[in-house]
């Protein structure tokens, strides 16, 4: 092969290589442009769907560089979607708040809302209705409330006494309402009421100073056990301690000065039947009668006590999920007994709710506090 032929051969091969490279580059550029166009179209389309669809686009197999780009794009889209959703929710909430006063209260007081209605097992409810002692003022009107209560308690209602009384229209519902329980600290209600009764009758004065004796001591709840017991305390102070802090020493001091006989006589005159004076007992209906008497007193002689009951050291039961400062309540815990009794000062329809229980933790392995709080919320929302 002569030199001229070699040169021509080399030039031809070189030209072929150049053309091939050119074609390859053109094809690559075209493919990249198509890919970019496809990605853009995919992103634009995906933006119109839900956030779930957007998330799924990140699972499309791509190179590391393409994955990074796609993730950044999806994040940007997700942010925009979230912003739009938030705006929609805000507009919806504003519309709801201006719709009616009642709805505004439920929106702004989130703790009084309950998103999920407790499941109602009709068979259990109907079975319980045949076993429990149930009294209602109006079967048609009160049956829905009864069903709600039993859907929360289930078989635990067998260990409970529950009483509901509407202070506006007199509607009544009781479940085992007459069953007697160890009263525990709910007894402080009638002892303090008996003291205020004696003050109203001129037998005692709220500003008179009472001094502690050794027989007044009792541990457990309260603040006086950690205070200077050598100084005297007025009856007004002792009444506040007995209610707000469930103070056992203050309770015993009040009972001593008022007189045990007078306290029990006053209690029995309100509930309408004798009680066990050596081991004080109370039913849900008994507690309801006491609270109703305190609420309806013409001269307001028990109003100070009801005010003390608005803010106690024990707000995790009936008051827990309700608007703050609207519940006058008094708890009672002793051994297996767990109670809370209350007046709910609802502006449109105040009512009484008393709940007594025994052995809920032992029998059903449940926190009584949570049960009472949930039950209270359901009654508040469904009555």
CA-CA distance, 204 to 234, in Å (whole number)?
A: 11
Residue 123: count of CB within 10 angstroms of its CB: 7
Average pLDDT over residues 237-266: 98
Of residues 70 and 184, the one with the higher pLDDT is: 184
Give the model's pLDDT for residue 49.
Answer: 29
Helix axes 139-153, 122-131, angle to 10 degrees: 110
Give the model's pLDDT for residue 277.
Answer: 94
Please report, to the nearest 10 degrees, the dihedral formed by the alpha carbons of residues 51, 54, 56, 57 taken in order: 180
Give the pairing of strands 233-234 and 281-282: unpaired
Give the model's pLDDT for residue 4.
Answer: 41
pLDDT above 70: residue 26:
no
CB 74 within 8 A of CB 57: yes
CB 107 within 8 A of CB 152: no
User: Cα separations (Å) of 150 from 158, 170, 367?
Assistant: 10, 21, 17
Average pLDDT over residues 283-307: 97
Q: What is the DSSP letter of 5?
A: H
pLDDT above 70: residue 167:
yes
Give the chain's count of helices (H) and strands (E): 14, 10
Average pLDDT over residues 172-184: 98
Query: pLDDT, tens digit, for every residue of 87-125?
Result: 333 333 333 333 333 333 333 333 444 445 455 578 889
pLDDT above 80: residue 1:
no
Q: What is the DSSP letter of 358?
A: B
Please report, to the nearest 10 degrees, the dihedral formed by the alpha carbons of residues 242, 253, 239, 233 taken in order: -120
**pLDDT level of residue 27 (50, 70, 90 thresholds):** low
Give the model's pLDDT for residue 123.
Answer: 87
CA-CA distance, 333 to 183, in Å (whole number)?
A: 8
pLDDT above 70: residue 287:
yes
Task: Give the residue ranges of DSSP H helices in 297-332.
Answer: 303-308
Give the model's pLDDT for residue 36.
Answer: 46
**pLDDT level of residue 2 (50, 70, 90 thresholds):** very low
Give the model's pLDDT for residue 25.
Answer: 56
pLDDT > 90 in the chain, percent: 66
Please report, to the nearest 10 degrees, the dihedral formed by the alpha carbons of residues 42, 80, 51, 63 taken in order: 40
DSSP states of 155-187? GGGGGEEEEEEETTT--EEEESTT--EE-GGGH
Average pLDDT over residues 17-37: 53
Sign of the C-alpha dihedral computed for residues 142, 147, 150 and 151 taken in this order:
negative
pLDDT above 90: residue 150:
yes
Q: Which of 275, 273, 281, 292 is nearest to 342 (CA)?
A: 292
| DSSP-based helix, strand, coil % in the chain, nearest 5 | 60, 10, 30
**pLDDT level of residue 159 (50, 70, 90 thresholds):** very high
Q: What is the DSSP letter of 118?
A: P
pLDDT > 70 in the chain, percent: 69
Token readout for 188 is 């402080």
Residue listed under structure tokens 């309806």: 296
Query: pLDDT, tens digit, for every residue of 324-377?
Result: 999 999 999 999 999 999 999 999 999 999 999 999 999 999 999 999 999 999
Average pLDDT over residues 152-175: 97
* Domains identified in the chain and CATH numbers: 122-382 (3.40.710.10)
Give the model's pLDDT for residue 139.
Answer: 83
Phi, psi of 373, rounded to the nearest 5 degrees: -65, -45
Of residues 271 and 50, the one with the higher pLDDT is: 271
**pLDDT level of residue 59 (50, 70, 90 thresholds):** very low
Query: pLDDT, tens digit, for every residue of 193-240?
Result: 999 999 999 999 999 999 999 999 999 999 999 999 999 999 999 999
Give the model's pLDDT for residue 53.
Answer: 36
């Amino acid at each position: 092969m002569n030199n001229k032929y070699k040169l021509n051969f080399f030039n031809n091969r070189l030209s072929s290589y150049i053309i091939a490279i050119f074609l390859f580059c053109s094809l690559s550029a075209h493919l990249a442009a198509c890919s970019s166009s496809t990605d853009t179209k995919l992103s634009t389309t995906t933006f119109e769907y839900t956030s779930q669809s957007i998330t799924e686009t990140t699972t499309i197999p791509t190179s590391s560089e393409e994955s990074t780009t796609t993730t950044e794009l999806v994040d940007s889209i997700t942010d925009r979607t979230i912003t739009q959703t938030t705006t929609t929710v805000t507009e919806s909430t504003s519309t709801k708040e201006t719709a009616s006063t009642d709805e505004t209260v439920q929106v702004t007081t989130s703790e009084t809302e309950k998103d999920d209605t407790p499941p109602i097992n009709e068979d259990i409810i109907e079975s319980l209705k045949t076993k429990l002692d149930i009294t209602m003022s109006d079967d048609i009107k009160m049956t829905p409330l009864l069903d709600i209560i039993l859907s929360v308690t289930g078989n635990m209602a067998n260990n409970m006494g529950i009483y509901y009384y509407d202070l506006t229209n007199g509607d009544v519902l009781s479940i085992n309402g007459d069953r007697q329980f160890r009263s525990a600290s709910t007894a402080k209600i009638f002892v303090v009421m008996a003291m205020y009764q004696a003050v109203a009758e001129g037998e005692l004065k709220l500003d008179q100073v009472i001094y502690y004796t050794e027989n007044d001591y009792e541990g457990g709840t309260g603040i006086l056990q950690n205070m200077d017991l050598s100084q005297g305390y007025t009856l007004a102070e002792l009444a506040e301690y007995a209610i707000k802090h469930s103070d056992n020493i203050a309770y015993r001091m009040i009972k001593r000065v008022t007189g045990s006989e007078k306290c029990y006589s006053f209690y029995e005159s309100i509930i309408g039947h004798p009680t066990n004076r050596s081991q004080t007992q109370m039913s849900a209906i008994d507690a309801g009668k006491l609270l109703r008497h305190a609420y309806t007193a013409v001269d307001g002689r028990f109003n100070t006590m009801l005010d003390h009951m608005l803010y106690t050291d024990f707000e995790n039961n009936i008051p827990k999920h309700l608007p703050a400062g609207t519940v006058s309540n008094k708890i009672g815990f002793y051994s297996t007994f767990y109670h809370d009794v209350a007046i709910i000062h609802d502006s449109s329809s105040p009512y009484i709710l008393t709940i007594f229980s025994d052995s809920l933790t032992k029998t059903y392995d449940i926190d009584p506090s949570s049960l009472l709080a949930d039950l209270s919320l359901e009654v508040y929302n469904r009555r």
